Amino acid sequence: MTPAEFIETLNARGEGPGCVIVTPVPTLISVAASRNETSRGQARPVPVEQVSAVLAPHVGRLGYMQAQRGEVVDSLTLDANYVRRTDAELHWKAPKQS
């Protein structure tokens, strides 16, 4: 589907407001989103965030394969899977012992 059709589909499903569009090519969707907002008189634009063009297709493919197997969860049950310790853990200093 075209970027304009994608934006229209989001609006038809009631998912336009409050969603964020994530893409490796933000200009592709930003133009269509802007046109749609102007024509509908929307005060708040749909945020568009850029992600790595190298990783995005792989992450998307993995997510799609999981969804096809029915392995989906809602955002409240997601759990982070960190590759390394957080900065807070790396820079945390233990209290000095006397």
55 occurs within a structural domain? yes
Q: Which residues contact 34 (CB under 8 A, 6 or more apart)?
A: 45
Domain count within the chain? 1
Q: What is the CA radius of gyration of the chain?
A: 19
Domain of residue 44 covers 3-91
Residue matched to tokens 């945020």: 47
Contact 42, 14 (CB under 8 A): no
- Tell me, yes or no, whether 10 lies in a domain: yes
In a domain, 60, yes or no: yes
Q: What is the pLDDT of residues 36-94, one digit of tens each?
A: 666 665 555 678 888 888 888 888 898 899 999 998 887 788 777 777 777 787 787 66
48, part of any domain: yes
